[in-house]
Chain A
Amino acid sequence: GAGVSQSPSNKVTEKGKDVELRCDPISGHTALYWYRQRLGQGLEFLIYFQGNSAPDKSGLPSDRFSAERTGESVSTLTIQRTQQEDSAVYLCASSLAGQNTDTQYFGPGTRLTVL
């Protein structure tokens, strides 16, 4: 079946602009995660959704970052007034029920470059 998809695959923007990144999870997966991968670093947790609520937003680096999810479907990560330090690959993952033992399935990521 279809995996996790993300769009766009690449995004180049100018400093100060807003960007929206989209994630389509695997159908039926109630849990959805956003991570950030900066060059040469590991993945950094941003936010976790269970259904359309976000019980854990602890990884969002500033109030310029926000995310929403429609039901148990698409999620959008929005970065306002982008800064150069926001340049990274943004990865989305979904899992069946959000249990500790569930496998998280990752999308291919969106590479964001802020000039």
Chain B
Amino acid sequence: AQSVTQLGSHVSVSEGALVLLRCNYSSSVPPYLFWYVQYPNQGLQLLLKYTSAATLVKGINGFEAEFKKSETSFHLTKPSAHMSDAAEYFCAVSDNTDKLIFGTGTRLQVFP
């Protein structure tokens, strides 16, 4: 069965600092991987997705993620955090029955 592990339920960074949110997956088939963001009192919004094309995926709001098969990882990064990036971030993998398997989420806090 496929699964996703997000290390760190809470991450705090200063405004302007690098953001790194970790995601590792387990899959017996080539995975499709997604990062979603959930702002307070809003629904989930897709940040980016990996669908077996380029391993470095660029998303909205300056985020990007790199698929590393050897490390079974799909970490999310942003070079410079903004206050508006404060939200909860979910990594997800798509299994071969089409549903998404989600990690438990990482709450990002950005301090001025």
Chain A window 89-104, contacts with chain B (Cβ cutoff 8 Å), 1 for yes, 0 for no = 0010100001111011
Cβ-based interface call for B82 (8 A)? no
Least distance between B54 CB and chain A CB atoms (Å): 14
Please tell me the number of chain B residues within 8 Å of chain A, measured between CB atoms.
28
Q: Which of B45-75 contact A (CB under 8 A)?
A: 45-46, 49, 51
Please tell me the number of chain A residues within 8 Å of chain B, measured between CB atoms.
27
Cα–Cα, bound, A69→B45 (Å): 24
Cα–Cα, bound, A100→B100 (Å): 9
**Chain B interface: which of A13-21, A60-68, A78-86, A105-113?**
A105-113
Cβ-based interface call for B43 (8 A)? yes
Least distance between A86 CB and chain B CB atoms (Å): 19
Least distance between B83 CB and chain A CB atoms (Å): 23
Cα–Cα, bound, A17→B95 (Å): 35
Scoring A91, A99, A100 by chain B CB atoms within 10 A of each residue's CB, the highest score goes to: A100
List chain B residues, Cβ under 8 A from A45.
99-101
Cβ-based interface call for A77 (8 A)? no
Listed in ascending order, the chain B residues whose CB lies under 8 Å from chain A are: 4, 6, 9, 32, 34, 36, 41-46, 49, 51, 90, 92, 94-105
In the A-B complex, the 7 residue pairs with the smallest Cβ-Cβ separation, listed nearest first, are: A42-B102, A106-B44, A43-B102, A42-B104, A101-B51, A106-B43, A108-B43
Listed in ascending order, the chain A residues whose CB lies under 8 Å from chain B are: 3-4, 31, 33, 35, 40-45, 48, 56, 59, 91, 93, 98-101, 103-109
